[in-house]
Amino acid sequence: MSADVVGMALLLLGLVLVVAKLVRLRSRWCQRLFLPSSIIGGFLALLLGPEILGRIAGAFGYDGWGDGGMFGSQILEVWSTLPGLLISVVFATLFLGERIPNPKDAAKLVGPQMSFGVALGAGQYVIGLLLAILLLAPLFDIDPMAGALIEISFEGGHGTAAGMRDAMAANGFPEGADLALGLATVGVVSGIVIGVGVINWAVRRGHTVFLKGDAQTSVEEQRGLYLKDEQHPAATMTVRPSSVEPLAIHFSIVAVAILIGHVMLSALRGIEEALWKDDVELFAHVPLFPLAMLGGVVVQLAIDRLDRTGIVDRLMMLRIQGLALDLLIISALATLSIQAIADQLGPFLLLAGVGIAWNVLALVYIARRIIPRYWFERGIGDFGQSMGVTATGLILMRVADPEAKSPAFEAFGYKQLLFEPFFGGGLITAASIPLISQFGPEPFLLAMAALLVFALATGLLYFGKQRAEPSGKP
């Protein structure tokens, strides 16, 4: 693969993203659903690729677009490798530029939030694996590893689903990545649609502390723009460009975090190969991105201890993360296999339906009994995240608490520091497919069921007893 092809593939991703943003600006339907431009762009690229345009052209006797659609097979080959690379950038930046909080400061808010978040994540494994064992495997002859796809896709989102492609293929479940990407798309869209509907239900039932009318957002917010007087800097200049470009030094810090993760993973694989490879092979199939996240934590801890000038800017890290995630989503959706989803349409619909039902029931019936104060404003964020991406949770929290008067955003942020290393693309997510492949679904199901029971017990019997005052305020 020549460097020119790689460069052209990146340029075409930029072109697709620009067209997608124009679609978002013009399409009221996309605005109402708060569809990110990257997802719109991914579907545009999929439409123009071999899976749709190529098949349509082939039906009319033209086979020139059969291999790569309008983009060509070499461009699609580059795009197909990007998600596995970019997901490490996304996860390495999760904690960079954000001071790791003192455990005592975070404990008061994070307890009930963590119990609810873990219950959501572990519950997705439990219901998915039960569905796979009792129905999908005997009825559709699908691998029980499909039971892990709800958490990988809904809690993890497009990035995690794409990042797990190699692990699924290595464990004999290659169609799982396409099913996961399809489920992630269902999760993002239904997360916004159902989330806004649940907010309006909560307003009518009096469950929201601050919203007293219909949940509405501004036209500019729906279009994905800032008004001129609302615009603010995307990042802060922490170093002088005469010495080094600020974006370049931040990219270098991300690179160090990923390299530390790579060393960690190589060491774990070496230990495994030396000690127990003949009995179980786990780290050989664990992708790099959860270790890249831990590498980011290591780098940030060093920065907290040594940096006195504030050289790392959180907003700059978010811009790097956002760029990587947008390109990842477009390239992943552009190379999605529709045929794989069509071949497993029954399991796909069942997994999507069961996953959505669990998340809604958990928000409506469990959150209020675990989170004693501002349960809806805080629970809706975890619901949104559990449907695909953290941004969905933030959007829904913004709708439910427009002026951020509740501790929802702070509690959500603290919870992420403890939650992300394990679920939604963390170590448990990364290890789920190899563990199920090596030992079967039952041991992993029992482990997640025990974790679910523990999360519910601590939430319901301890945190849930700390009741709020009648007003809903502390």
DSSP assignment of 372-441, as one string? -SSHHHHHHHHHHHHTT-HHHHHHHHHHHSTT--SSHHHHHHHHHHHHTTTSSSSHHHHHHHHHHHHH-H
C-beta separation of 404 from 209 below 8 A: no
pLDDT at 278: 63
Higher pLDDT, 20 or 269: 20
pLDDT at 474: 37
pLDDT beyond 50 at 138 = yes
pLDDT beyond 50 at 473 = no
Distance, in Å, from the CA atom of 168 to the CA atom of 374, rounded to the nearest integer, reads: 39
C-beta separation of 124 from 424 below 8 A: no
When mean pLDDT is compared across 101-110, 113-122, 308-317, the lowest value belongs to 101-110
pLDDT beyond 60 at 471 = no
pLDDT at 280: 64
Number of neighbours of residue 63 by Cβ within 10 angstroms? 10
Confidence of residue 245 (pLDDT cuts 50, 70, 90): very high
Distance, in Å, from the CA atom of 145 to the CA atom of 164, rounded to the nearest integer, reads: 12
Higher pLDDT, 353 or 55: 353
Higher pLDDT, 341 or 413: 341
Summarize the confidence of residues 359-365 as an average pLDDT: 94
C-beta separation of 172 from 434 below 8 A: no
pLDDT at 277: 64
Question: Measured between alpha carbons, how far apart are the two ends of the chain, in Å?
Answer: 60
Can you give the residue ranges of every domain in the chain?
3-89, 90-212+238-465
The token duo for 336 is 């999605």
pLDDT at 472: 41
pLDDT beyond 60 at 212 = yes
pLDDT beyond 80 at 436 = yes
Confidence of residue 125 (pLDDT cuts 50, 70, 90): very high
Summarize the confidence of residues 423-436 as an average pLDDT: 87
Distance, in Å, from the CA atom of 132 to the CA atom of 147, rounded to the nearest integer, reads: 5
Angle subtended at Cα 251 by Cα 246 and Cα 254, rounded to the nearest 5 degrees: 135
Cα torsion 19, 22, 23, 24: sign: positive
Collapse the DSSP code of 88 into the 3-class scheme (helix H, G, I; strand E, B; otherwise coil) and give the result: helix
pLDDT beyond 70 at 217 = no
Mean pLDDT estimate for the chain: 84
Summarize the confidence of residues 48-71 as an average pLDDT: 79
For the chain, give the percent of residues with pLDDT over 70.
89
Q: How far is CA 411 from CA 19, 123, 207, 414, 457, in A?
A: 37, 21, 19, 5, 20
Higher pLDDT, 234 or 358: 358
pLDDT at 469: 41
pLDDT at 470: 40
Most confident of 97-101, 190-194, 254-258, 302-306: 254-258
pLDDT beyond 60 at 423 = yes
Give alpha helix (H) positions in 164-242: 165-170, 175-205, 219-223
Q: pLDDT by residue (tens digit) across 149-170?
A: 999 999 888 778 888 888 899 8
Longest Cα–Cα distance in the chain: 70
Q: pLDDT by residue (tens digit) across 364-399?
A: 999 999 988 889 999 998 998 898 766 677 667 777
pLDDT beyond 70 at 279 = no
* Model pTM score: 0.73
Q: pLDDT by residue (tens digit) across 183-204?
A: 988 887 788 789 878 888 888 8
Q: How far is CA 5 from CA 17, 71, 77, 202, 324, in A?
A: 18, 11, 10, 51, 19
pLDDT at 211: 66
pLDDT at 443: 95
